[in-house]
Structure 1
Amino acid sequence: MGYHPQYLDAFQKTQQFLLRGDGPLPHEYRHYIAIMASARHYCNYIVKLHTCEFIMQGGDPEWLEGIDKCPKKLQDLNELNMLMAHQPWKIKDSHIKDLTSGQRKWTLSEVMHAVVLLAHFHSLSSFVYGCGVSPELDDSDGGYTFYRSKEDGSTLFDPSSSSDPEVNGVENSNEEKPIKVLMESMRQLHDNPEASVEEKVKAFESIDPAFDKSPSPPQSGAHEERQRKEQNAEFMKKFIDNPGFAYEDFSQRDRSNNPTTFRAQDFSWDEQGFSLTNRLYPDLGQYLDEKFKIATTLTYYTMGNNLDVDTTAFRRAIWNYIHCMFGIRHDDYDYREVNVLLERSLKQYIKTITCYPEKVTRNDFKVFMKDFKQSEKVHVNLMLLEARLQGELLYALNAITRFMT
């Protein structure tokens, strides 16, 4: 995040407020919720970090033996944690009612605190995997890190592989839309006539993120990487309820039981989410709002080595594509732009990091936006983090609103 100091400052303020500021939840609860949320994606980096923080805050070491050892009140978050991480469109006001009634009653302020913590660490897990810092080099063999090349660009370096295309100059076989072509596509969008409401809805429904992932070519250390992931998964399962529950593609959902779309115009962050968050947890809305605004507006007007580039359309396509995977539709957006600006390998990367980041591979790093600067790749991952965070919150906050009314 240090590539983008303005965002890093807002992120650190928000995380500091959530974990150490005034709030309804005890500090050891906050770090345990961070563990529960990160374990849904088997994010070893965050789980280990907050395991240490949990102990430092006076948490009971017995809780770390498994989810069944923590207080029943925290166990009551299991279903909400599961739904928010993988299928947030299934969250109902009844889930909020269950938490706020009975012997282990949660207050609405506590629910708000927990909901934001869950969404924060789900999306942060995506960012961690998206930037290749899980596992870290000093954590286990085969970790990833960044190094600066002589050409003044940063590249991802996999020390366990001697065939890294960035290191040896090997051209990757995966074809990607050149930056010049992408820039021309963005320019042409300004000349296109505005789509009708019907055309926008049809374009949204035609975006099918359910594509088959092309098999990665054989690579050095693949067997060891698979073994590490399997061992890591076994360790994480003690913090997870129903580990088999996962993301479902939008086109494969049971539409008889779930709404086909969540219209952002009916319940948006700006109009409803911001005020509700501030009402139940004073000041938190401001912290989140600042982060969202920076993530959506941040630009240096560059694409690779090209200067003075208006990247608005490209950034908007990424943000709305992520929301599309969660069934969220923005009525004022022409979704035809997504297919024009986001080529297949980029969509594949976005879907993997957003929906099941634990499945990311070395090859995903190598082919992801290879003509872009490393800071630009991190920028995309920041948008993935914030768009996913906002998407989860919209569903959870809408459920809280329905419960309150």
Structure 2
Amino acid sequence: MGPTIPPESFIDLLLDALCVVDRDGYVRYVSAASERVFGYLPEEMIGRRILDFVHPEDLEKTRQAVKEILRGELKPHFENRYIRKDGSTAHIMWSARWSEKEQIRVAVARDVTQRKRAEAMQAAMYAISDAANSSDSLPAMFRRIHQVVEGLMSAPAFMVALVDTQGGELYFPYNADRHETRTHGFSQDIGSLCEQVIRSARALLLTPGSSVAFSPQAIDTSHVEVRHHWLGVPLKSSQGVFGAIAVQRQSKSACYTDEDRELLEFVGIQVAAAVERKQMQAQLEHMARYDQLTELPNRSLVLDRIQTALARAAREVGFLAILYLDLDDFKQVNDTYGHAVGDQVLQEMARRLVQGVRAADTVGRLGGDEFIVLLDGIEQPSDADSVAEKLRATLSEPYELPMASLTLIPSIGVAVYPEHGDNHEALIRYADSAMYRMKKGRPDPVS
């Protein structure tokens, strides 16, 4: 029989850490794997309370598990989190039991951080996709995503910055701070930091007091007094960077790590795809309900609004009016000057109509040069005639175009609820007929 092999010689070869803790919770022994699992050398843990290393949010459930172990219950798959020496979080799965004879807890600690991270990322991907599909607006979607991010890391302050496609300005559709971690001064710099993330197309990680923990050298943060931990990553599409998401927590908390950056970058990829889908969906819905040339509500949306207004008028015993109008001899404009000029006339006509009515009213384009106006909640039927005269005057003013100055005369038919009908079909039909009665026998040429 060969020489006896000391247990330590092979225990220290284990990938999992073997821990021995006394009844009072002090570490009496830990194997060499403690450095890989917990980030501490054995001598740095021995003699200290094991709970001192536990993540604050997991302390209560860990204390409860210890009580159960001391009662003799086995804990083969207990999971909690520990704070490593470098400030990062380790997910640990324990197999533990109590020895009444020796008055010690013997446990094996397995580092499952990578597995938990993969599970969290998979769950985040599904959760963000679900948020994109079930939320009815971008802010609502971002609220859901904030909850997802808080499940991955401490993120009491979470913000989303997007670049306006029209003016190129940065705006914040979501900017929440659950614990009011921002100071007034630093809050003013958030836009600047997000702009730098967008401009560099790279992550930016800042720590209090000082230096940039992770960022490309091209980023200048010398003008920012950093009082909190801040981490921002870009939102990218096939067209380039269109925004950024950022998280922030108090300086007394653990700083964000490179692992947090990788997680947030993963979230950023999912968020960017979700934002693109949401914006595409909104664009398609807009195209289905609005006229592309004039940006006015189209026939479908106008009819919906008329039916809503009719229901309200019937309920409140009120009035509403429909104006149906077009421009006499508009066809000659297209034939003489081309459709591009005709489109400019229609756009100017739409602008004048919108400016000529109240914000509560609806101006829509039915097609060609035919427009419709819903006057909702008028005081008396004669109000409709007054508005029609006002619009007739403004639409008769010359249309100053690069190629010509055109004077076009509108024909406007008026129908009032309930006098001329109690449903949208009857009212539109009456207003249409009234318009053609006005047009009949009045040959106003284009000048």
TM > 0.5 fold call: no
Flag the structure with more relative contact order, 1 or 2, with Cα contacts below 8 A and sequence separation at least 6: 1
Which structure: greater strand fraction? 2
Whichever of the two has the greater Rg, that structure is: 2
TM-score normalized by structure 2? 0.20
